[in-house]
Amino acid sequence: MFNYGKRTYIMGILNVTPDSFSDGGNFFDVNSALEQAEQMVEAGADIIDIGGESTRPGANKVTATEELARITPVLKKLVANLKVPISVDTYKADVAKEVLNLGADIINDVRGLQGDSNLAKVVADYNVPVVIMHNARLYDKEGDIIDCVKAFLTESIKIAKEAGIKDENIILDPGIGFGISSKESMEIMNRLAELKELGYPILLGTSRKSMIGDILDLPAKERVNGTVATTVMGIMQGVDLVRVHDVKENLEAAKVTDAIYR
Which of the four CATH numbers 3.20.20.20, 3.90.1150.10, 3.40.50.410, 3.90.480.10 does domain 9-202 have?
Answer: 3.20.20.20
pLDDT at 222: 97
Does residue 9 have a pLDDT over 60?
A: yes
Average per-residue pLDDT for the chain = 94
Residue 25 has pLDDT above 50, yes or no: no
Distance CA(207)–CA(230), nearest Å, equals 9
**pLDDT value at residue 178:** 95
87-136 pLDDT tens trace: 999 999 999 999 999 999 999 999 999 999 999 999 999 999 999 999 99
pLDDT category at 17 given cuts 50, 70, 90 is confident
**Cα separation of the two ends of the chain:** 20
**pLDDT tens digits, 30-52:** 998 999 999 999 999 999 999 99
Average pLDDT over residues 212-238: 97
Residue 228 has pLDDT above 70, yes or no: yes
The DSSP string of 60-123 is PP--HHHHHHHHHHHHHHHHHH--S-EEEE---HHHHHHHHHTT--EEEETTTT-S-TTHHHHH
Please tell me the predicted confidence (pLDDT) of residue 54: 82
Backbone φ/ψ region at 40: left (φ over 0), alpha (ψ -120 to 50), beta: alpha
Tell me the pLDDT band of 24, cut-offs 50, 70 and 90: very low
Cite the active site residues: 209, 243
Per-residue pLDDT of 159-213, as tens digits, reads 999 999 999 999 999 999 999 999 999 999 999 999 999 999 999 999 999 999 9
Q: How many CA atoms lie within 13 A of 146 on its CB side?
A: 13
Residues 171 and 201 sit within 8 Å (Cβ to Cβ): yes
Nearest partner of 73 among 146, 147, 16, 158, judged by Cα? 16
SS3 at position 42: helix
What would the mean pLDDT of 20-28 be, rounded to a whole number? 50
pLDDT of residue 176: 97
- The sheet that has 9-15: what strands, in order across it? 170-173, 130-133, 106-109, 86-89, 47-51, 9-15, 241-244, 203-204
pLDDT at residue 20, rounded to an integer: 47
When pLDDT is averaged across residues 152-162 and rounded to a whole number, the result is: 98
Sorted by where each begins, the domain ranges of the chain are 9-202
Element containing residue 243 per DSSP (H, E):
strand 241-244
Using pLDDT thresholds of 50, 70 and 90, give the confidence band for residue 23: very low
- pLDDT-derived band at 28, boundaries 50, 70, 90: low
Backbone angles phi, psi at 27, to 5 degrees: -130, 40
User: pTM (2 decimals)?
Assistant: 0.94
| Ramachandran angles phi, psi of 217, nearest 5° | 55, 55
